[in-house]
Amino acid sequence: MSGTLIGSIGLFFLFLFLALRMPVAMSMLIVGFFGTWAMIGLPAALSTLGGEAFEISTTGTLIVVPLFVLMGNLAGASGMSRDLYDAAYAWVGHKRGGLASATIAGFAALSGSAIASAVTMGRVALPQMKRYGYDDSLATGAVAAGGTLGILIPPSTGMIIYAILTEQSIGRLFMAGVFPGLLLTALFIGAIYIVTKRRPEAGPPGPVASMAERFAALRRSGVIVGIVLATIGGIYLGIFTPVEAAGVGAFLTFIMALYRRSLDWPKFRFVILQTLQTTATVFMILIGAFVFIPFMALTQIPTNIVGFLVGLDVGSLGVLIIILLTYIALGTFLEGLAMLVLTLHITFPVIIQLGIDPIWFGVVVVIVLEMGLISPPVGVNVFVVKSVAPDVPMGTIFRGIWPFWLAMGVCLAILIAFPEIALFLPNTMFN
């Protein structure tokens, strides 16, 4: 049997397993193991399985994953993330669409998984917007789309995984996500403004907070903002490595949670378990990927696809658009991290051959992955929001995401036209 045929059979079973709801990590691991066995024998397959599992588990730079996840979970459990939402709520909640804009600002403080961000902020923001008579489509759309900011604005698990898989600098990728993340936040708020301008009843104004209340909320939110600025600023200035920054961020968040007396034993236990669960999921995905990718390399399928894409007579921009559209389609049924590990061994060599900056591509591909998560017919984030708001019909949620989906498209177009937006900070950071 030829390598291409074995690879095609492997891909068939991979997508079959995914359709049967098998975890992505186990699907890749099983297909990669048995595919390698079929190609070059059982000893090689066992060696790949054991060697890759050990190598991933002992990779020092991956310590940033549990530390940044711990930082985010501590901030959420202790109420620090809620503080930023409350501050935005106090300052803009009295305007049309203000609560939805405050929700977007709250998402900017969260990091890691878009799905986890959507669940966390959805439980905080949706009851408030429902209380003040917000249209269900705007409220749920803001939560579903706002969750995408959690994986773009640093510290971002998605950026870390991209850096590991492509051997790029984690610090440079973090810096590259800052301005695009702020740009996307502004575009989301602009989308809310347009929706409420056309339909004022969709986002009625909330209560007006006094200046004392506004500044008090701003002071409370300064804690989490200060911690994020300290960690990311430390990386930019060369004071910390990303690993050291992750440790500093997690430590400062823990100390502040203790100081505020907002972290009792049940919450701390929940934080530890959630951190372990997320970390184990990420590590399993990486182990599965590093077993699956060598098998794919043996089949020559990725090489053939790369040659085909590079040989297309559509120019670099045309190939880039094909890749981005493929990611949007995959995003309708796969989570962002899963898409990265499944596809980067094919798309990354293409963008390198086309001369596209890999740091810039990392930012763009993360945005496109998150577009897929809110794209019909099977946008994963939409189903997550549905679980938080079971009384809202799916069609209503999908209607609500379109202004934000278009805003993400505008953000992509701006980044393609002006790549310096993403590259300015990485190119000026202290090395």
156-215: pLDDT as tens digits: 778 888 998 898 999 999 999 999 999 999 999 999 999 999 998 898 887 888 899 999
Q: How far apart are CA 318 and CA 330, in angstroms?
A: 19
Both tokens assigned to 140: 């749920």
Report the half-sphere exposure of 189 (CA within 13 A, side-chain side).
Answer: 20
Res 35: pLDDT: 94
Res 107: pLDDT: 64
Q: Are 372 and 333 in contact (CB under 8 A)?
A: no
Helices marked H in 20-63: 24-40, 42-57
Q: Which residues of the chain have pLDDT under 70?
A: 106-121, 150, 335, 378, 430-431
In a 3-state reduction of DSSP, which class is residue 97?
coil
**Burial zone of 189 (CB within 10 Å; 0-12 exposed, 13-18 middle, 19+ buried):** buried
Q: How far apart are CA 334 and CA 328, in angstroms?
A: 10
Q: Are 158 and 427 in contact (CB under 8 A)?
A: no
Q: How far apart are CA 25 and CA 7, in angstroms?
A: 18
| DSSP one-letter code for 202 | G
Res 289: pLDDT: 87
Q: How far apart are CA 229 and CA 209, in angstroms?
A: 27
The alpha carbon dihedral of 42, 47, 52, 58 has a sign of positive
Res 104: pLDDT: 83
Report the half-sphere exposure of 147 (CA within 13 A, side-chain side).
Answer: 34
> 10 Å Cβ neighbour count for 293?
21
Report the half-sphere exposure of 227 (CA within 13 A, side-chain side).
Answer: 28
Is the peptide bond prior to 419 cis by the omega test (within 30 degrees of 0)? no
Q: How far is CA 180 from the centre of its chain?
A: 13
Q: Are 54 and 60 in contact (CB under 8 A)?
A: no
Give which of 426, 302, 285 is closest to 358, Cα–Cα: 426
Res 112: pLDDT: 53
Q: How far apart are CA 331 and CA 333, in angstroms?
A: 5
Helices marked H in 132-169: 136-146, 157-166
Q: How far apart are CA 83 and CA 62, in angstroms?
A: 29
The separation between the first and the last C-alpha atoms of the chain, rounded to the nearest angstrom, is 50
Q: How far apart are CA 173 and CA 340, in angstroms?
A: 15
Q: How far apart are CA 122 and CA 142, in angstroms?
A: 9
Q: How far is CA 244 from the centre of its chain?
A: 22
Res 109: pLDDT: 54
